[in-house]
């Protein structure tokens, strides 16, 4: 687990899929095996569970608790485990946060409330209420493509005054807003959009919360180290080597092809739950070609 206040959750984190059995039930042993693989063999110092890539919207509260507890048991002594607890209901998000704290989570990921399009005053109240509900550090998740509403720079500056709101997972695609927020706050930024890992690191992000990290953890660690050492030539080379992987995994919804890749590699994954659908044979064939171009033979 990280002890660096500049990186409250570590450097390389993956938004971990939730493995399912073929009948669609939770595969807790598989979740533990995958978590251990990511930490021990893919250079991760942290995991985010129960996020979008973990298909949290299709998991019951009981299932979410079981997955979080299983992952903590597997790797909680050697990696930072961050629990996705955000919903579009403040009261439910608070309940999730308190449950995650009771189970031993090391931090919370709180997404912008989606669908109901709150104004900035509503975002400020929502995030503050969740942060007030536990003693755990909070990473905000700013992702307008899913939530519609961005967290504006002024709102982020006000939220940064909260002692437990310490980081942002950024998938906004607005480098100018990121730079403005970094200049005005001490929030630790994590890239939440793999194709923008390099530019976000270059303007001051401290790490990544990745989807392709299921497959490329060591190279993401290499990318971060190159940026930090000032070796942008190497950083661009590493980033270029990852571009086919970014393309391959995100030709459709990221969890669909990530699970397909994990299945091809013999790692726990299983099917996706509706309303998602599993990759077709043609999509798997394209994925194989993309990942081979990125140095990952399936």
Task: Decide if 172 is catalytic.
Answer: no
Note the pLDDT of residue 2: 61
Note the pLDDT of residue 1: 63
DSSP string, 135-148: SS-EEEEE-HHHHS
Inform me whether the pLDDT recorded for 3 exceeds 80: no
Task: Decide if 169 is catalytic.
Answer: yes
Domain limits at 74? 12-231
* 75 occurs within a structural domain: yes
β-partners of residue 165 are 138
Q: Is 230 helix (H, G, I), strand (E, B) or coil?
A: coil
* 236 occurs within a structural domain: no
* 6 occurs within a structural domain: no
| 209 labelled binding-site residue | yes
Catalytic residue among 114, 115, 117, 169: 169
Please give the distance of CA 92 from its chain centroid, rounded to a whole number: 20
* 32 occurs within a structural domain: yes
| 249 labelled binding-site residue | no
* 298 occurs within a structural domain: no
Computed from CA positions of residues 212, 254, 269, 76, in that sequence, does the dihedral angle turn out positive or negative? Answer: positive
Total domain count for the chain? 1
Please give the distance of CA 133 from its chain centroid, rounded to a whole number: 22
Inform me whether the pLDDT recorded for 253 exceeds 80: yes
d(CA 191, CA 175): 11
3-state secondary structure labels for all residues of 64-97: HHHHHHHHHHHHCCCCEEEEECCCCCHHHHHHHH
Note the pLDDT of residue 79: 98
To the nearest whole number, what is the mean pLDDT of the chain? 97
* 264 occurs within a structural domain: no
Least confident of 2-16, 185-199, 224-238, 258-272: 2-16
* pLDDT grade for 6, boundaries at 50, 70 and 90: confident
Q: Is the separation of the CB atoms in 84 and 48 below 8 Å?
A: yes
- What CATH number does the domain containing 128 carry? 3.20.20.70
Of the chain, the percentage scoring pLDDT greater than 90 comes to 97
What would the mean pLDDT of 131-142 be, rounded to a whole number? 98
Summarize pLDDT for 106-123 with one digit per residue, the tens.
Answer: 999 999 999 999 999 999
Catalytic residue among 141, 189, 190, 246: 141
* 185 occurs within a structural domain: yes
Q: Is the separation of the CB atoms in 12 and 217 below 8 Å?
A: yes
* 249 occurs within a structural domain: no
């Amino acid at each position: 687990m990280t002890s660096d206040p500049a990186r409250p959750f570590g450097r390389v984190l993956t938004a971990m899929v939730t493995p399912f059995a073929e009948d669609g039930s939770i595969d807790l042993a598989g979740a533990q095996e995958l978590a251990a693989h990511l930490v021990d063999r893919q250079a991760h110092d942290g995991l985010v569970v129960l996020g979008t890539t973990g298909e949290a919207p299709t998991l019951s509260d009981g299932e979410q608790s079981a997955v979080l507890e299983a992952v903590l048991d597997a790797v909680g002594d050697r990696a930072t485990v961050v629990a996705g607890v955000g919903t579009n209901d403040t009261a439910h998000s608070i309940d999730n946060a308190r449950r995650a704290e009771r189970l031993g989570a090391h931090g919370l990921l709180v997404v912008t409330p989606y669908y109901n399009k709150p104004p900035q005053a509503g975002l400020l109240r929502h995030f503050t209420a969740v942060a007030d509900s536990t003693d755990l550090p909070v990473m905000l998740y700013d992702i307008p493509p899913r939530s519609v509403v961005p967290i504006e720079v002024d709102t982020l500056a006000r939220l940064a005054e909260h002692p437990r709101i310490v980081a942002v997972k950024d998938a906004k695609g607005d480098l100018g807003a990121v730079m403005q927020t970094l200049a005005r706050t001490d929030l630790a930024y994590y890239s939440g959009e793999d194709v923008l890992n390099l530019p976000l690191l270059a303007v001051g992000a401290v790490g990544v919360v990745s989807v392709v990290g299921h497959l490329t953890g060591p190279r993401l660690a290499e990318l971060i180290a190159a940026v930090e050492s000032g070796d942008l030539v190497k950083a661009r080379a590493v980033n270029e080597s990852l571009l086919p992987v970014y393309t391959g995994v995100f030709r459709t919804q990221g969890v669909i092809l990530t699970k397909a890749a994990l299945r091809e590699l013999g790692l726990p994954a299983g099917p996706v739950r509706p309303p998602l659908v599993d990759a077709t044979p043609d999509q798997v064939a394209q994925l194989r070609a993309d990942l081979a171009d990125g140095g990952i033979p399936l």
